[in-house]
Amino acid sequence: MTRPKEQRLFQDMRRQASQTLKRHLDPLALPAAIERLKDWHTYTRFVAPEDFQPEKSYELTDDSTSRYLRAEYRPKRANRPRKFAQGARYGAATHNGCPLAPENMPGNQCPYERAVEAGGRYNILTQISPFGEDHSVFASPTFATHDWRPGGSLVLRKRLADMYAIARQLPGFLVFWNGWQAGASIDWFHLQALRNATPTPLQRAADAAQASPFEAVTRIDEPFWPIPAIRFRGPGEFIVDEAVKSALGWNAAAGEHATENILMFSQPDGVSCYYVPRDRRRERADGLAGAIGSYEAAGVFIFSVDAEKLDAGELGFREVWQFLGQARPEARMV
Does domain 3-325 fall into CATH 3.30.428.70?
A: yes
What pLDDT score was predicted for residue 169? 95
**Hey, where are the domains in the chain?**
3-325
CA separation, residue 129 to residues 75, 89, 109, 167, 240 (Å): 11, 22, 13, 21, 30
Torsion of CA 154, 239, 139, 285, to 10 degrees: 100
CA separation, residue 217 to residues 78, 172, 211, 220, 272 (Å): 38, 21, 10, 10, 10
Q: What span, in angstroms and rounded, lies between the C-alpha atoms of 332 and 292?
A: 19
What are the backbone dihedrals phi and psi of residue 259, each rounded to the nearest 5 degrees, phi first?
-155, -175
- Which tens digits make up the pLDDT trace of 240-269? 999 999 999 999 999 999 999 999 999 888
Q: What span, in angstroms and rounded, lies between the C-alpha atoms of 316 and 312?
A: 9
Q: What span, in angstroms and rounded, lies between the C-alpha atoms of 145 and 296?
A: 23
What pLDDT score was predicted for residue 232? 98
Q: What span, in angstroms and rounded, lies between the C-alpha atoms of 171 and 321?
A: 29
- Which tens digits make up the pLDDT trace of 279-321? 999 999 998 988 999 999 999 999 988 889 999 889 999 999 9
Q: What span, in angstroms and rounded, lies between the C-alpha atoms of 70 and 201?
A: 7
- In this prediction, the residues of the chain whose per-residue pLDDT falls under 50 are 1-2, 83-88
Q: For the whole prediction, is pTM greater than 0.85?
A: yes
Handedness of CA 3, 6, 7, 8 (dihedral sign): positive
What pLDDT score was predicted for residue 89? 52
For 278, half-sphere exposure in the C-beta direction (CA atoms, 13 angstrom radius) is 29
